[in-house]
């Protein structure tokens, strides 16, 4: 009778161990599935990030500066040019006609959503001419940039 009790106890212990291992196995498979999904998301993000790598290259900045220099009115000068978050361009400067600057920026193939980042302010320069300070933000378009390269 002791032998049967001992065997039954061993069997129950093994059954509990099997249940525990089966549960852990299922948890492990779920975790592997989560990791696989996260890996796929990461791979997708890497591909998306690689699309914006050219924005960080010197040739991109050279192209932007060349286009701005060639197309801005003569009385316009830029005081700041920034690329933020990989695809947002911010341009700050002064001009006698800031709305013409916005029109020119809107026509550039590598820019979209050109909008003032704040109010345009005016001041008189030393020679009596009126200049307006502006800050424009725009989204860089990779396809438009490729047309320029």
The pLDDT of residue 5 is 67
Question: What is d(CA 149, CA 142) in angstroms, rounded to the nearest whole number?
Answer: 11
What's the mean per-residue pLDDT of the chain? 83
Mean pLDDT (whole number) for 63-77: 88
Give the residue, 142 or 100, on which the prediction is more confident. Answer: 100
pLDDT over 90 (residue 15): no
pLDDT bin (cut points 50, 70, 90) of residue 56 is: low
Whole-number pLDDT of residue 91: 93
pLDDT at 146 exceeding the cut of 80: no
Read off the pLDDT of residues 77-130 as tens digits, 9 standing for 90 and up. Answer: 899 988 887 788 899 999 988 999 999 999 998 899 999 988 888 877 666 778
Inter-residue contact 120 to 147 (CB < 8 Å): no
User: Is residue 149 scored above 70 in pLDDT?
Assistant: no
Q: How confident is the model at residue 57 (pLDDT cuts 50, 70, 90)?
A: low
Residue 18 has a CB neighbour count (10 Å cut-off) of 10
| Predicted pLDDT at 32 | 93
Instruction: Give dist(CA 78, CA 105) in Å, integer.
Output: 13
Residue 139: which H helix or E strand, with range? strand 130-140
Band (pLDDT 50/70/90 cuts) for residue 33 is: very high
């Amino acid at each position: 009778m002791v032998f049967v009790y001992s065997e039954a106890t061993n069997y129950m212990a093994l059954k509990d161990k099997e249940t525990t291992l089966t549960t852990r196995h299922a948890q492990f498979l779920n975790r592997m599935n989560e990791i696989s999904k996260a890996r796929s998301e990461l791979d997708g993000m890497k591909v998306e990030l690689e699309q914006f790598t050219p924005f960080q290259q010197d040739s991109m900045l050279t192209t932007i500066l060349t286009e701005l220099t060639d197309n801005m009115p003569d009385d316009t000068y830029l005081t700041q040019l920034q690329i933020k978050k990989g695809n947002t361009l911010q341009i700050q400067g002064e001009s006698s006609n800031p709305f013409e600057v916005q029109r020119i920026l809107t026509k550039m193939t590598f820019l979209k959503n050109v909008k003032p980042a704040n109010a345009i302010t005016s001041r008189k320069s030393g020679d009596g001419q009126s200049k307006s300070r502006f800050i424009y933000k725009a989204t860089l378009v990779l396809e438009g940039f490729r047309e320029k390269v």
